[in-house]
Amino acid sequence: MSSVKEETARGVKWGLIQKCTMQPVQFLYGIILARLISPDEMGILGLTAIFFAIAGQLQQCGFGAALVRKQDRTDEDICTVFWFNVAMSLVLSTALFLAAPWFAWFFDQPALTNLTRVSALLMFLNSTVSVHMTLYQARREFKTPALVSMCTTLAAMPFTIWAAYAGWSYWAPMLQGIITGILTLVIIWIVSPWKPKFIFSTNSFKEFFRFGANLAMTGMLTQFYQEIRTFIIGKFYSPAQLAYFSRAQHTCSMPLNLITSTLNPVTYPILATLQHDHSKLIHVYRQYTRMISLVVEWGMITLAANSSALIVFLYGETWSTASVYAQILCFGWMLNPLLGLNMNLCTIQGRTDLNLKCEIVLRVVSIAVMVWCAFYSVKALCYAAAFSSFFGLTISSIIVTRISELRIKHLAADFLPYLTLAILANIPAYFIDQQSWPACYRLAAGCSSSLGIYLLFLWIRQDETAVKLLSFIKGKLRKKQK
């Protein structure tokens, strides 16, 4: 267990270094762009993500996860995945490039033609480094990707802000993607020890395809569901409404990105190494569940309780409509990390068929609810998104009980206490957010009261996970002092 703890700590450390360095910078970056680019212009840019997110899932076909899971991977395997990714990306990028005028016509936004074509080129560019990044994850080497991501993002931001000041509107954020993509390609191909060879094995392809096909379908269904909201809002509502919804999504994803993008690349390869030791695998899985719940549920409930003050403080009164959407999304999306952990457990055990079945049931029901809500308002679509998360966690938890000795009561015991404590801790923050004080005062008072009450509850409860986490942090600090 010590090796698991050390590897988790090492991966989380570099993930947190990356996020804690970039999060404040990205906050400032988002604030500047929101004040320089109108909601209508930001909404137009958001339309380009609809088709590329789905195409990205189709391009990968689950081969990346299969490569991480396979502990005895060969250079032949890696090269096969690389050339498959590049070939699929070339086909999809070409198709999207040619279809760009149709997208512009469908959404009645002429600017989408060139935006879509540039995005298609970026998609092909990014495919040439995806396997390199996957290998770093598989080897549990988290330092290099973190440093590359920080350096390329920081290098691109000044040019993006200059472009926004110069009146480039929606082309300013696109410029960041161009610069980041080119710099990442150059740096990774220089520093990565692995270089592709002209090798393609049909046996490796068949092996990965058998494992990855279900994952690819699962990912496509997930991505289709996530992007269809953007499609509906972009087609039947105004670009401004799409921008408000996108800004709410971005705000809600801030704590989720900090936690999930730090933990997911760490937990999946570590759990993969335990796939043949079932009891240890389940023990570590439950530890991860409690650790994620301890942090994520409080963070998301706090964000929901202070959403009005946060949106106004960050982006100004112009974006205040987004606070209502953010509040609803926070309550639903706080469960997404647990849903992802459940799906990872099935993947690690080779039951990608269960992942696909779960995804089909979840998305059929969720899309039906979404279409029904689309007739009412964007706010109703937010409620549909929250419902999808609760329903998804329920289904995935039932599947976990099928592949392990765990029961629903065990899974509930791992996260419900933290959910209850987080809600109780944020009752004062919610009422503070309703006051007419300046946004900065409401935000400071609400977050401070929430954190203080939550820590008090954990202390009274003598929470085992919190105690272990605190002890681990203290131990690391002592080592550094020595």
For 66-79, write each residue's pLDDT tens digit: 677 777 778 888 88
As a whole number of angstroms, the distance between CA 416 and CA 328 comes to 19
Going by pLDDT thresholds of 50, 70 and 90, the confidence category of residue 18 is low
Going by pLDDT thresholds of 50, 70 and 90, the confidence category of residue 2 is very low
What pLDDT is recorded for position 477? Answer: 45
Task: Report in angstroms the alpha-carbon separations of 408 from 246, 287, 392, 415.
Answer: 34, 16, 14, 11
CB 271 within 8 A of CB 343: no
Q: Is the C-alpha dihedral spanning 246, 160, 15, 66 positive or negative?
A: positive
- Mean pLDDT: which of 108-117, 140-149, 215-224, 229-238 is highest? 108-117
143 vs 308: which has the higher pLDDT = 308
Question: In this model, does residue 94 exceed pLDDT 70?
Answer: yes
462 vs 470: which has the higher pLDDT = 462
CB 406 within 8 A of CB 400: yes
The fraction of the chain above a pLDDT of 70, given in percent, is 77
Going by pLDDT thresholds of 50, 70 and 90, the confidence category of residue 332 is confident
As a whole number of angstroms, the distance between CA 434 and CA 432 comes to 5
Going by pLDDT thresholds of 50, 70 and 90, the confidence category of residue 423 is very high
Question: In this model, does residue 21 exceed pLDDT 60?
Answer: no
- Residue 317, C-beta contacts closer than 8 angstroms, at least 6 positions apart: none
Average pLDDT over residues 458-470: 83
Question: In this model, does residue 3 exceed pLDDT 60?
Answer: no
Task: Report in angstroms the alpha-carbon separations of 6 from 10, 30, 267, 269.
Answer: 6, 35, 12, 13
Residues 22-38 have pLDDT tens digits of 556 666 666 677 677 76
Alpha helices in 108-238 (DSSP H): 112-127, 130-138, 143-165, 171-191, 202-236
Q: Is 244 helix (H, G, I), strand (E, B) or coil?
A: helix
Average pLDDT over residues 265-279: 69
What pLDDT is recorded for position 61? Answer: 57
Bin 38: left if φ > 0, else alpha if -120 < ψ < 50, else beta: beta
Q: Is 195 helix (H, G, I), strand (E, B) or coil?
A: coil
Query: What is the CA 414 to chain-centroid distance, rounded?
Result: 22
424 vs 159: which has the higher pLDDT = 424
Going by pLDDT thresholds of 50, 70 and 90, the confidence category of residue 454 is very high
The fraction of the chain above a pLDDT of 90, given in percent, is 7
Q: Is the pTM of this model over 0.75?
A: no
As a whole number of angstroms, the distance between CA 66 and CA 136 comes to 14
